[in-house]
Structure 1
Amino acid sequence: MRSPRMRAALAVGAAALVLVGCSHRIEGSAVSVFADPFKVGGMTAVDGPTGLRDDAIAPTRTVEDTDGGEIDHLGAQSISDIEQYWAYAYPDNLPGEFRPVEALSSWDARDYAGGFCGGPTHGLVNAGFCRVNNTIGWDRGVLLPALRRVNGDMAITMVLAHEYGHSIQQQARLVRSTTPVLVGEQQSDCMAGAYTRWVAEDRSPRFTLSTGDGLNDLLVTLLSIRDPVLTELDVEINGVGDEHGTAFERISAFQAGFTDGPSACLAIDAAEIEARRGALPTELQRDQTGDWPVSDESVHAVYEALKILFAPAPPPALSLDANAAAGCADARPSPPASYCPATNTIYLDMPALTAMGTPDIELDPTSLVGDNTAYSVLISRYMLSLQHAKGLPMDTAEAALRTACLTGVATTKLAPGVATPGGHSVKLAAGDIDEAVSGLLTNGLAASDVNGDTVPAGFSRIAAFQAGVLGDWDRCVSRYAG
């Protein structure tokens, strides 16, 4: 955000695993055929086992320089499974003939010995594909154990599926020396999504993946490996040659592969990525911190900006008396932000909303929790008031996703900046969209109905938000019509 008194923004951090607040899941039957709230990519969203099967068949690949531990076993199983998928999928989708990578290697980034792709591996907390000799390697000491500890076996498999995507690109000649790194990386995210769909369909003989919590965990993993927010100075000094993309971009690429298969990955190029970015900011300006702490002043500024953008008559009232939400005649409270249709009032619990938008750096130094995690929830309640004025259903699964979609519309409208009577300029900053995505995935409140109920799959909540970021009011209403 901008203001004559301060310069700030709806902010960003890095990889949220825990957020304050929780919403209820909606039970019921879906109405919309076009965008089923209870499905992800056409598959029913259900919880269940995720990870290496107890009866998994043996790996077909071995690992060089292995320590013989569980991480390398998972790596070998992952690559074996990914290759089985591509042996099946490649002929129908890509030119030429599928060829497995030449070798797999492992190292411990804490050790001084070892090498990969012609360089030392000490301090190399990473996984990668080496184009020089067509090999894949990974850090068994730091990176993969951390991914597994937080998000399970399939987090390792997904990261290696992304790296394998680079081998597929080479074989199919989808990239060349002039192809932007950003394009190659998001194509690989898409290919990881295509493989993951095969696992979710229960076709893998080694792994299983639930379309509920299991898939949610993989999206959290994508949050954790998105690019850090750059400043204009960063870009001037270092350029964007190794850009991988924001969490919003990487998740949308993954979702394309999961939903439509490898053919969707072929459509990802510089123009397609630019279209997805639209007018969204990609780096912080020199005088921006990307941070406007949630306060009475800031939420009133966001509220005033929404009044200017949408000009409802009458606008909803804004109350900081959170306890009064319990007296609403036609909706349950959904703290820290509630909307009551009977009184056309938004109620905020400011301490809880502030906590929601404040990262705990000591607990998680890479936290993606930030200001817009909270502001997006406020925006979603404002979008409920606009739906109420139009007489739209407000307590259905479709209403929850419609709200997420309209929150995306409103968030994008803030990109150019809105001057408020209080002297602020409420303006979207780089990283804000990722903060909203983090909240959608981990608490779902910005994708909830008037009672704070949401749908099971974070995949669906993010897809609805994305539809709004890239669309408009009419698209959201027609897509989620129930």
Structure 2
Amino acid sequence: MPPRHLAGAVIAVSAALLITSCSTTLQGNAVSVFDDPFRVAGMPATDGASGLRPVPDPPTRDVLDTDDGDMDELGRQAISDIEEFWEAVYGESFDGNFEPVTELISWDANGFDDTEFCGDTTYGIVNAGYCLDDHTIGWDRGELLPALQRAHGDMGVALVLAHEYGHAVQYQSGMADDDTPTLVSEQQADCLAGAYMRWVAEDNSPRFTLSTADGLNNVLAAVIGFRDPLLNIDDPEVGMDEHGSAFERVSAFQFGFTDGVAACASIDMREIGQRRGDLPVLLPEDHTGELAITEKSVQDIIGAMDTLFSPKNPPKLSFDAVDCADARTSPPVSFCPATNTIVVDLPELEAMGAQPDYEDDVGLATGDNSAYSILMSRYMQAIQHEHGGVALDNAEAALRTACLTGVATAKFSNDSSTPGGNTITLTAGDVDEAVSGILTNGLAASDVNGESVPSGFSRIDAFRVGVLGDQERCFKRFD
């Protein structure tokens, strides 16, 4: 029997996410014609309405086993819109004509009805999926769709259904087949969902709108929530049904949003391997991946950075507030160019890196590197200061800092020694924690005054350039 596709879109009801910013947003005009900090993949970064239009075009699809409620109506609208997108663009990238899925099926995961999807009973299935067996798409209206809408708005629902429809397009077009690894199939579907979201953001959709600042940030938060859970190297689940880290899945989505459907076919095991590089995927045995945030650990991180980057004049470290003549403070970590000092508010940094009190595998990634990535970003401010010839207090500097923080993060994927003989090493989950922080508070992607750009998409994109590149690339791209 051909494989069934029930992609991992499970969302805990408690996983409501609030996209806020601890940094402020830079105003004004972009400082480079090549990488405009105030644009998103060539589009203006603007706030505005996101979600179902007040008067959308009517849906074109019906739903089997529906309760005729708001969630199924939203699902109908999303699928109808996604199909309109594919009707318009399918022939540009694939041979033949686009064929819509045969049926849409809805269920309540808490219900005791006789609903089946893809040959299985739907009781307790908090999920959405594409079934290759009969070319259908189904979703849980009882828990999944309401949780998505609460956490990410209408576009969170549209994102998941666009991902599932991506699986349908993969098989119809021949992009994927029975031998395609799940890791590839899932990230191709993320990419195809990104292409659809670009179509909506360009105001082509008759049913939905998507702003390229807050609206797109919320969509990216949903993508992060679909990352694989952290596993130790000895866990029995290792190698089973791998979908990808938040960093990988957000990257795939951004490829589709930026470059369109054609970019998605280039995602294969080789491409994913190149993108993953030496970044850790699994935690060591009996390891949490967390390094307690203390004065000693901060000193060790700074010492390791000194070793990795060997500046002629390494920045000083202070845990006490200092007056700075040429920069504002940006807690929990600030860099003062005038004195070449990194200033750490240790209690605030510790709070920034704290893990949540509840177990949440599908929310934003939080942990020690939510804090340490900010510390690294201020060190990279010192590297920029020593480099010279670049401003530290504008939008270009903010994205350059994100890029250089990516460089530093990748360097820590190998053991890094401190002057005291300790070793600092990146662990699985750390990159996802950095990506989550860059999206939500933007501090690791801010200038010397703690100011960032409005688009989380652009901040993450700059960070990825650094992870996959080097210092020279960051200085050239964000000059």
TM-score norm. by structure 2 comes to 0.94
Letter of the structure 2 residue corresponding to residue 54 of structure 1 = P
- Hey, what does 1:68 align to over in structure 2? 68
1:161 deviation in Å?
0.1
- Hey, what does 1:10 align to over in structure 2? none
Residues 56-455 of structure 1 correspond to what in structure 2 (within 5 A)?
56-113=56-113, 114-234=115-235, 237-321=236-320, 323-324=321-322, 327-362=323-358, 366=363, 368-391=365-388, 392-455=390-453
Structure 1: distance between partners of 2:286 and 2:138: 40
CA contact (8 A) 1:19 1:439 kept: no
Aligned-partner SS, 2:297: helix
Aligned-partner SS, 1:389: helix
Aligned-partner SS, 2:239: coil
Higher relative contact order (CA 8 A, sep 6+): 1
1:15 deviation in Å?
7.5
C-alpha distance 350-367 of structure 1, shift in aligned 2 (>3 A)? same
Aligned-partner SS, 2:161: helix
Supply the RMSD in Å over aligned alpha carbons: 1.5
Residues 261-315 of structure 1 show CA distances to partners (whole Å, capped at 9, x for unaligned) of 0000011111011110011011111142111121111111111100000111210
Residues 355-410 of structure 1 show CA distances to partners (whole Å, capped at 9, x for unaligned) of 00002224967552110010000000000001001112101100000000000001
C-alpha distance 242-92 of structure 1, shift in aligned 2 (>3 A)? same
C-alpha distance 317-209 of structure 1, shift in aligned 2 (>3 A)? same
Residues 46-67 of structure 1 show CA distances to partners (whole Å, capped at 9, x for unaligned) of 0000000011010000110011
Residues 305-340 of structure 1 show CA distances to partners (whole Å, capped at 9, x for unaligned) of 00000111210001011x32xx20000000110000
Aligned-partner SS, 2:343: strand
* Unaligned 5+ runs, structure 1: 1-13
Ranges of 4+ aligned residues in structure 1 off by more than 6 Å: none
Aligned-partner SS, 2:255: helix
Alignment coverage as a number of residue pairs: 463
Letter of the structure 2 residue corresponding to residue 94 of structure 1 = F
Structure 2: distance between partners of 1:299 and 1:110: 47
CA contact (8 A) 1:126 1:143 kept: yes
Aligned-partner SS, 1:205: coil
Structure 1: distance between partners of 2:364 and 2:357: 7
C-alpha distance 272-367 of structure 1, shift in aligned 2 (>3 A)? closer
1:95 deviation in Å?
2.0
- Hey, what does 1:457 align to over in structure 2? 455
CA contact (8 A) 1:15 1:369 kept: no
CA contact (8 A) 1:127 1:160 kept: yes
1:39 deviation in Å?
0.7
Structure 2: distance between partners of 1:294 and 1:39: 35
Q: Which moves more between the two structures, 32-41 or 145-154?
A: 32-41
1:178 deviation in Å?
1.5
1:193 deviation in Å?
0.3
Aligned-partner SS, 2:106: strand
TM-score norm. by structure 1 comes to 0.94
Letter of the structure 2 residue corresponding to residue 36 of structure 1 = D
CA contact (8 A) 2:195 2:260 kept: yes
1:36 deviation in Å?
1.1
Identity value in percent:
57
Q: Which moves more between the two structures, 421-430 or 364-373?
A: 364-373
Aligned-partner SS, 1:175: coil
